[in-house]
Structures are given as structure tokens and as C-alpha cells.
Structure 1
């Protein structure tokens, strides 16, 4: 039911997770995160979210950041050369003068764990700061997620 909701909802609906009994928690329910947690508990697989969902979150975050008139420029899916790693695709690249930051989206169950191997390697080298924003924060508390990025650039 978590993976194949009859309504194919984004997070939860009355066909998969919602009921009158859990009405006060509806905003907290997310069938994809629940499925990821169950896969981890049953099979030991690393919690991950669908790549499309992570991309949509990064798109949304980048669009908002670009519209804020910050002194930094934000671009999506930019190729960047990382010393010791090679060329990677930055989910969101922030540039201000000669400074660069990479922002990505992480699974809510894996705080501070990059969703791809190349982003993990870039994060480990530290030559370009890599900061990860929680997908759940982007979808549920968008102003806070944008604030996290802008604070990192301050």
C-alpha cells in the first residue's frame, strides 16, 4: 500500500495512510518515507527516496533561491570540477564571486547522507562545501529550507 497507492498520491491520502483516527497527523504522513523505512528494517537497504522526488525538491528550492535577489547565483544540474573527485553534477550550485557551494537534497531518514556516490565523494573532499537539505523540510517547511541555504551563504 505504501509503494502502490491506488490514488498514486504524493505523500498520503485516505486510500493509503490517512484515516479519521490519525487526522491530526495527516501533515506528518508520507508513504514514500514509510516505505523507505520498512525496506531498511526488513531488508537492510539504505533509506532512499525516488530520484524524481529529490529532483523536484531541488527544482523547487533552486527556483525560490533564484527569485530572492541574493548576491549569489543559483543554477541547477551544473557540471563542476572537484579536486580529487573529477567532474560531478551539482544538484544546486551557488556562486558568489569566486566562491562556490553545492546544495543537495537528502532523504529524511538519512540526515547528512548525500543521495549519490559522486556527491558523497565531493562532500568528503571538502574542496567545495556540500550542504544537504532535508527533503521533508523542503516539502513541509519551505521557508526554513530556503533560510538554511541563505544562512550557509552568509
Structure 2
């Protein structure tokens, strides 16, 4: 791992890498709360005030999304060349990992997961948020079965 701190977060280990960003298990040092921190490069935000305002606006919108089937966004930080978003840490696995392990799911489970996914998407869409990249790797299933 390149760095072990970013703002108030102590990064403990990489959870995932998604194109231009990486997700880390982290602890918010001030709040003593475990979170998932998505780190991304933000050089455009430094040189372009419109891009920076768009990112700040998106962070504020994500913070307002509250639904049991949407991972909670606690906020974000924008610095000179990089930024991060802090999310609720979901203990569990992705739908892709589950399908790798089990290959098939009972139809009742499929219906339950589909209902939960569409409920979360409906909430996001009502707030004007579109996911743009929904795929099994990005659908998290908590240990209690919540999607």
C-alpha cells in the first residue's frame, strides 16, 4: 500500500481495485469507526473549479441517500491531486464472489436479492442518482443477507 493515512483515515488494507480507484478498509481516527474508503485521482478538480464543484455536489447528494439497500456514504475529501469517499463498511461478500462459490442460487434467493437491489436503485433514482456501472462485483451482500 502506497500510503497508510489520508485525512482522518488510517488505511488498513486494500479491499478492491476498480479501474481508476481503490477501496480500503480504514478507521476514522476521530470517530473510531471502521469504514470503507474509496480513493481516487482528482487532478481535474485542482485545475477546473466546475469539475471540483461537481464532485463536491455529488458527495453531498450521496450523503443524503439513506436506504437499507444502499451503502451509506459518510462524506468525502478532495485534496490537490486525489480524493476519497468514506462509506459504511459492509462485512460480507459481493454477488460475484457468492456466485463463484455457489454457481446457482435458489429462486427465492434470486427474487429476494432482485427486490433488494431494485429497492435501493429506486431510492437512488428518486434522489437523481444513477449508478452507471451496476455489476455483480459491486453488489454487496452482508452477512445477514441484506443486499
In the superposition, the TM-score normalised over structure 1's length comes to 0.25
Name whichever structure is richer in helix by fraction: 1
Relative contact order higher in (CA < 8 Å, ≥ 6 apart): 2
Larger Rg: 1
